[in-house]
Amino acid sequence: MSAGLLTVALAQYAPVWLDRDATLNRVLAAMEEAADSGAQLIAFSEAFVPGYPFWVELTDGAKFESALQQAWFDRYSDQAVQIDRGDLDKVCARAAELKLWVVLGCIERPRERGGHSLYCTLVIIDDQGELRNVHRKLVPTYEERLVWSPGDGHGLRSFRIGEFTLGALNCWENWMPLARSALYSQGVDLHIALWPGSRRNTVDITRMIAREGRSYVASVSGIMGNAHVGDELPEADALRALMPEIAADGGSCIAEPDGDWLLEPEVGSEGLYLATLDPAKVRKARQNFDPFGHYSRPDVLELRIDRRRQRGWDTRD
């Protein structure tokens, strides 16, 4: 192994579903465990705080003016993360204390967009406790569009972490060729893919992105089932009856830059999964293919990225 090794931890856990503060306590506990295990970076699943909207596909989520859907959205909105209110301050402070990078999926309710629409957001916090990136998912997938709003390109950014360049995308954003290319163009060689859960989401694309980008790719997923539906939630008994015992079975995994498994998909149980990454393997894999280096034709193909934060208004006082 070479110098510049990086140990990463994938936090495959269930949230305290639709309870922001209790789930943030789980984040803090996992951060402690990761740091004690020697990790320099920890990643959590998509929408981990306060949880993925599993009710939508199970309870006629497209029914217009449904009192039940409004009740679910009310709960979801109330438990969403407001960064400017300080909801992530404890996570940032603990990251600084532990010298730990954090990639965290959350549901964000930003005041800059009126304070009521929700975004599937991933945040990146560095080992100094600085909130470095707030990336809102570009396109919510299928039934997600009933509760999440489309994001923008503001968070399509990369960050140096030791010998690696870090980037991250949410769920099916990882299937978007130009979103992936936006990260490749910045030299990303550690790609974090956040998923709500299920091996079927991660088993193919993790290795594909690794092979395409000649990068380490870590997919981190959650766990969820009907036992995680709390009694305080709307029509809890009815939802438990509709939800499978296992609605999200994990599937967290890591592929190496040649597409081989470093960590095969972990299915069916909660846990903190660690692996050590070697930057020499990236350099070796880039010898014959570098997607935005020697194996590109900028005179023929060009990518443009609009990083302006979309607000829908502009003031010129």
CA 308 to chain CA mean position, Å: 21
Would you call 99 a catalytic residue per the annotation?
Answer: no
User: Which residue's entry shows tokens 């003016």?
Assistant: 65
- Is the pLDDT at 34 greater than 60? The verdict is yes
Q: What confidence tier does 315 reach under pLDDT thresholds 50, 70, 90?
A: low
**In the prediction, which pLDDT does 161 show?**
98
Distance between CA 105 and CA 43 in Å, rounded? 8
* Under 8 Å between Cβ of 100 and 43: no
Q: What is the pLDDT of residues 219-272, one digit of tens each?
A: 999 999 999 999 999 999 999 999 999 999 999 999 999 999 999 999 999 999
Domains in the chain, ordered, with CATH?
A: 6-285 (3.60.110.10)
pTM of the model: 0.95
Kindly give the pairing relationship between strand 271-277 and strand 131-136.
unpaired
Name the active-site residue from 108, 171, 253, 266.
Answer: 171
- Is the pLDDT at 108 greater than 80? The verdict is yes
Name the active-site residue from 46, 108, 163, 256.
Answer: 46
Distance between CA 282 and CA 130 in Å, rounded? 27
Would you call 284 a catalytic residue per the annotation?
Answer: no
> Strand, helix or coil at 222?
coil
Name the active-site residue from 137, 163, 212, 253.
Answer: 137
Would you call 137 a catalytic residue per the annotation?
Answer: yes
User: Which residue's entry shows tokens 């402070």?
Assistant: 93
